[in-house]
Amino acid sequence: MDPREASAAADSAGAERPGEARSHVPFVVTMLALSIVCFGTIAAFNIAIDPFRAFRTGFSEARYARAWLGTRRVSKGEVLRHGACRVLLLGTSRVERGFDPSHPGWGTAETYNMGLGATNMWEQLRVFRYALEHEPLEHVVVGLDMLMFNSNRQYEWDFRQSVFNTTKRYPDYRLGTVLSNYAVESSRRVLERLDENVTDANDDHGFLPKGVGAGFDYRGASVKLLRGFMTNPKSYGPYMDDGSRWAMLKEMVETCRARGVRLTIVMPPSHALDMEMLWVSGNWAAFEAWKRRIVEMADAENARSGDGDVWSVVVWDFTTHAGRNAEVLPGAGEGRVMKDWLETSHFTSAYGDDVIARVTGAARDGSGAAEEGLGVRLTGENIEAHLEQLRVDRARFVGEQPADARMVRNLWEQAQRSRRSMATEAGG
Amino acid sequence: MLFNSYTFIFLFLPIAWAGFYAMNGVAGRRAGRVWLLLASLVFYGWWNPIHLPLLLGSIGVNYLLARAIGDERRSQRGRKRLMVWGVVANVGALAWFKYTDFVLRSTLGTLGYEMEPTGIMIPLAISFFTFQQIAYIVDAYKEPGRARPFMDYALFVSFFPQLVAGPIIHHSELMPQFAGEEPYRARASNLSVGMAMFVLGLFKKVVIADEIAQYPDAIFGAAGQGDAPTAALAWIGMLGFTMQVYFDFSGYSDMAIGLARMFGLRLPMNFDSPLKATGISEFWRRWHMTLSRFLRSYVYLPLGGSRVGRARGYLNLIITMLVSGIWHGAAWTFVAFGLLHGVYLVVQQIWTRRFRLGPETPQWRRTFRCAWARALTFMAFAFSLILFRSSNFDGAWLVFRGLFGAGADEPSAEVPELKAAIWIGAAWVIAWTMPNVQEFMRKFSPALDWTPSRTKWRFGTRRVPYPAWMPNPWWAVPLVAMLVWSVLNLDRVAIFVYWQF
């Protein structure tokens, strides 16, 4: 017999001495009983608080809104699982903070804002697929930022925990919402907010508006954001588009067409300083190419419409250096509250209301009046003229706000110097 | 399915265990084995069942091949030819799935062409079940006339605790156990020892390895994109990954051994405190022991081992370690990792021959040399892991340079350096000074064919015994605390480092 076989057989046969089995029973019983008590308690706590609105046992959706930030994808997934959604708003935090789902322009109360901070096309496609499968979708509005096409931008941590993550089997997903650190932490945050006066009427439908008070340091916040965008490889430090994200947008467009779901593509407002960052970072050509490609894709789909086929995709562009996007940042200690901007990256929901009015043709007051000149509806016919106009707007902005334009350039040069010094050190 | 997942811990394992013993009791052993086989196939196909047919086909073909090879009525030459074809087919399948992209990319790259990935999906665990089956057919040739029942063979290859990341079991270790009594009796002793080992392994993986993983992930990720780390980050990256991979893989092995034990089966030891080794050859006798054993038996010795002259012996060592490197992954960095370890082994052999300690060497010098050798071995291994972890040579070079102060001034990744250093330091203290899981469980023969070589701490002349687990309810309290801690952290579930192999 092979020595290994002999050893295996001997090890197996002589494993237990008389009475040994009995002596292990108290350990096994204690271990199992304690485990059941501990896990049962944790699960009961999280089911009772229900921080993700998974079991509808806890409090109203609004109470969770702020508690959700770190696990927003989990929470939004649960809301989408339970509630009916006819109009779906997709996009980044700009959409999440700027597009109010209760705006009458959407034409239905069953509108859900699936805007997600730091998202990308990969995530948004999965959210779209999930919604399409579970909701009676009639209209999809995609707020597109060029950042969503940066291939360095991977999925966020809470996406992996969410129902949108199709590699996670349901038992893993469901047990994660009751037996995980993030579930316990989310429950704790909900309890912290119990004293806040929030009613069911405030259910936010995924909308996360933000207000800033007088004395807010707009400039400091904006500089921090711009610097982050310039140095973060998930943004423009450097921007990288390997082409893979375009197939995802194409799938969205083609699926909407196949299912007869209205599709509106919106390039939401970008502050002039945010736009200037694209210019000084050398990404302007890529930005223009990005817009051309979107319009090209939309035109190609619309061209496929034959007689009787009313489906079409509409593209709106609100990015420019001019108009409300060129609102001057308050100086240090000025104390002025900006009308349309939270900082250079996010517009206010009031500005968002006007954008929605322009896109849908219906203002919040029901007047149907929309601000003329706000945004441009893009087609293959006007894209080049529009891009030319944006260049003119940019030149005018630099003339009118030279100090701020210089500030953006300086920030970019600082970021570049820092990168160069690192690369030189590394390269010897 | 991952061991460190809710589905496995709360659904699969209880159902598989209870079902196995219920089947044994109600319908007999054969039904129990069928149940275990089916459970293992569910385990394998849980994520993506697309490769289940490949696994089943591989089992079927190799079993028939082994029967033919072991058929004594065939001529020796015919059996040998079949065996060679079998090995070539297995290696060919492994190469096709795992190395096609690598070979094509490398070849076309040298000719100046770029290539899109072929999209060939690597079947889960193919490296592991291929090696096990190669051993089976080679042994069928060496020892003909020992055909085993198909059910035992299929279960040996697919038995879920060891299926996806080892230990690489030899058929003679597991198959005789299926024929014994032990697995078919639901014993509290097997359950308690198995549960304790599983929890300890889970804790090592989820709480220690996954916590540390975020630091090297960020640092090596940035280096892979050309961002040089600072000196501090380079050290955190290198030492952090060393700790991560040790606690990750040894934790996985502890879980696998514990799970098998719950079913009354003993698996061989796979990690025996390798970071305490005082030489590279000792390191490989303690690290992924079942892989080292396989490579020794089926690569190094067939090449002639050290019996073919000194220079050929060195070459054989290098070739064996090259195979080990390539087995770990399809990239030039893994080739370099294997080559480096081959060189390490050769250097150590030369050194040992030249500077062997004599019996007259004073104790203080022995102690000093032992401490120095341990530190050197640890550092040599840690250095090599830079190649193992880096996605390309440029990234590896940036981390190497960073170690010696030639890195960047600004951090390349957001890593809380103090916190990272505390975690890595704590893990290092555990790895260097504490008994391993098998030593802790030593009173209950936790691994097959293993007796502990160390059971005490030495402080000068004093000897302090390692703590030893006993099946009393008090030990259940810290173990449940570790289990709860681990389960709550499953939300950051990360696959095992060796899962991809």
Give the integer Cα–Cα distance in Å for A357 and A103: 9
DSSP string, A291-311: HHHHHHHHHHHHHT--TT---
All residues of chain A having their beta carbon less than 8 Å from the beta carbon of residue B189 are: 15-16, 20-21, 23-24
B410/A421 touch (CB, cutoff 8 Å), yes or no:
yes
* Chain B nearest C-alpha distance from A27 (Å): 4
Domain segments of chain B as ranges: 6-187, 192-500
Give the Cα-Cα-Cα angle A101, A107, A113 (nearest 5 degrees).
20
A426/B188 touch (CB, cutoff 8 Å), yes or no:
no
Give the 3-state secondary structure percentages of chain A, helix then strand then coil, rounded to 5: 55, 10, 35
B227/A8 touch (CB, cutoff 8 Å), yes or no:
no
pLDDT of residue A373: 85
pLDDT of residue A389: 97
Closest CB from A38, A161, A423 relative to B484: A38
Give the integer Cα–Cα distance in Å for A147 and B469: 54
pLDDT digits (tens, 9 = 90+) for A335-371: 889 999 999 999 999 999 999 999 998 887 767 677 7
Chains A and B form CB pairs within 8 A to the count of: 159
All residues of chain A having their beta carbon less than 8 Å from the beta carbon of residue B177 are: 8-9, 12
Task: Choose the mutation target among A1, A7, A11 for the interface with B, i.e. most B CBs under 10 Å.
Answer: A11
Give the integer Cα–Cα distance in Å for A24 and A30: 10
Give the integer Cα–Cα distance in Å for A39 and B484: 7
Q: pLDDT grade, residue A44 (50/70/90)?
A: very high
All residues of chain B having their beta carbon less than 8 Å from the beta carbon of residue A35 are: 480, 483-484
Instruction: Return the higher-pLDDT residue of A363 and A56.
Output: A363
Least confident of A29-33, A37-41, A168-172: A168-172
Torsion, Cα of B347, B353, B355, B358 (10° steps) = 150
B11/A176 touch (CB, cutoff 8 Å), yes or no:
no
User: Which is the catalytic residue, given B170, B171, B288, B328?
Assistant: B328
Residue in this structure with the two tokens 């292990």, named with its chain if needed: A24
Question: How many CA atoms within 13 Å lie on the side-chain side of A75?
Answer: 30
pLDDT digits (tens, 9 = 90+) for B280-306: 999 999 999 999 998 999 899 999 988
Closest to B494 measured CA to CA, from B238, B247, B257: B247
Closest CB from A171, A233, A422 relative to B6: A171
Give the integer Cα–Cα distance in Å for A287 and A387: 10
* Chain A nearest C-alpha distance from B459 (Å): 33
pLDDT of residue A201: 39
pLDDT digits (tens, 9 = 90+) for A91-103: 999 999 999 999 9
Q: Which residue on chain B is closest to A27 by alpha carbon?
A: B473
pLDDT of residue A4: 54
B10/A27 touch (CB, cutoff 8 Å), yes or no:
no
Between the alpha carbon of residue A208 and those of residues A51, A77, B337, the distances in Å are 17, 15, 50
B471/A26 touch (CB, cutoff 8 Å), yes or no:
yes
- The three-state secondary structure class of A62 is helix
β-partners of residue A315 are A265, A378
Task: Choose the mutation target among B480, B489, B490 for the interface with A, i.e. most A CBs under 10 Å.
Answer: B480
All residues of chain A having their beta carbon less than 8 Å from the beta carbon of residue B181 are: 12-13
pLDDT of residue B384: 95
B177/A425 touch (CB, cutoff 8 Å), yes or no:
no
Q: What is the DSSP letter of A338?
A: P
Q: What is the mean pLDDT of residues A323-339?
A: 90
pLDDT of residue A13: 42
All residues of chain A having their beta carbon less than 8 Å from the beta carbon of residue B142 are: none
Task: Please say whether the beta carbons of B165 and B47 come within 8 A.
Answer: no
Q: Of A209-218, A292-301, B349-358, which one has max mean pLDDT?
A: A292-301
Beta strands in A134-189 (DSSP E): 139-143
Quickly list H helices, A57-180: 61-64, 72-82, 93-98, 121-134, 157-161, 170-176
* Burial annotation A22-39 (CB, 10 A radius, 16+ → b, else e): eebebbbebbeebbeebb
Q: pLDDT tens per residue, chain B (501 residues)?
A: 889 999 999 999 999 999 999 999 898 899 999 999 999 999 999 877 888 999 999 999 999 999 999 888 888 899 999 999 999 999 999 889 888 888 888 888 888 787 777 778 888 888 889 989 999 999 999 888 777 889 999 999 999 999 888 788 888 898 989 888 888 888 899 999 999 999 999 999 999 999 999 999 989 988 887 888 888 999 999 999 999 999 999 999 999 999 999 999 999 999 999 999 999 999 999 999 999 998 999 899 999 988 888 889 999 999 999 999 988 888 899 999 999 999 999 999 998 888 777 777 777 888 888 889 999 999 999 999 999 999 888 889 999 998 988 777 777 777 888 999 999 999 999 999 999 999 999 998 888 888 888 888 888 788 999 999 999 999 999 999 999 999 999 987 565 555 555
* Chain A nearest C-alpha distance from B189 (Å): 5
Q: Is B328 noted as a catalytic residue in this protein?
A: yes
pLDDT of residue B225: 79
The encoded tokens of residue A352 equal: 């968002």
Helix pair A272-280, A218-231: axis angle to 10 deg: 30
Task: Choose the mutation target among B266, B399, B488 for the interface with A, i.e. most A CBs under 10 Å.
Answer: B488
All residues of chain A having their beta carbon less than 8 Å from the beta carbon of residue B490 are: 176, 179-180
Q: Which residues contact B426 (CB under 8 A, 6 or more apart)?
A: none
- The three-state secondary structure class of B460 is coil
Looking at the predicted structure, is the pLDDT value of residue A254 above 70? yes
Task: Choose the mutation target among A172, A239, A416, A424 for the interface with B, i.e. most B CBs under 10 Å.
Answer: A172
β-partners of residue B464 are B457
- The three-state secondary structure class of B299 is helix
Give the integer Cα–Cα distance in Å for A34 and B113: 61
Q: Which residues contact A3 (CB under 8 A, 6 or more apart)?
A: none
Task: Choose the mutation target among A23, A30, A173 for the interface with B, i.e. most B CBs under 10 Å.
Answer: A30
Closest CB from B174, B191, B491 relative to A182: B491
Q: Which residues contact A124 (CB under 8 A, 6 or more apart)?
A: A90, A91, A114, A116, A142, A148, A248, A252
Q: Which amino acid is at B257?
A: I
Q: Which residues contact A365 (CB under 8 A, 6 or more apart)?
A: none
Closest CB from B401, B410, B483 relative to A35: B483
Closest CB from B143, B177, B488 relative to A180: B488
CB atoms < 10 A from the CB of A194, how many?
A: 10
A175/B6 touch (CB, cutoff 8 Å), yes or no:
yes
Give the integer Cα–Cα distance in Å for B461 and B471: 31
A171/B471 touch (CB, cutoff 8 Å), yes or no:
no
* Chain A nearest C-alpha distance from B374 (Å): 31
pLDDT of residue A248: 95
Q: Which residue on chain A is closest to B266 by alpha carbon?
A: A12
Q: Which residues contact B196 (CB under 8 A, 6 or more apart)?
A: B258, B441, B469, B475, B479
All residues of chain A having their beta carbon less than 8 Å from the beta carbon of residue B187 are: 16, 21, 24
Three-state SS annotation for B400-454:
HHHHCCCCCCCCCCCCCHHHHHHHHHHHHHHHHHCCCHHHHCHHHCCCECCCCCC
A16/B172 touch (CB, cutoff 8 Å), yes or no:
no
Task: Please say whether the beta carbons of A204 and A65 come within 8 A.
Answer: yes
B490/A179 touch (CB, cutoff 8 Å), yes or no:
yes
Type and span of the H or E element at B459 = strand B456-459
Task: Please say whether the beta carbons of A142 and A30 come within 8 A.
Answer: no
Between the alpha carbon of residue A378 and those of residues A181, A293, A317, A375, B163, the distances in Å are 46, 12, 7, 9, 56
B173/A24 touch (CB, cutoff 8 Å), yes or no:
no
Between the alpha carbon of residue B142 and those of residues A144, B76, B130, the distances in Å are 66, 10, 18
pLDDT of residue A289: 96
Give the integer Cα–Cα distance in Å for A306 and A320: 34
Give the integer Cα–Cα distance in Å for B134 and B92: 12
* Chain B nearest C-alpha distance from A123 (Å): 18
CB atoms < 10 A from the CB of B457, how many?
A: 13
* Chain B nearest C-alpha distance from A339 (Å): 34
Looking at the predicted structure, is the pLDDT value of residue A236 above 60? yes
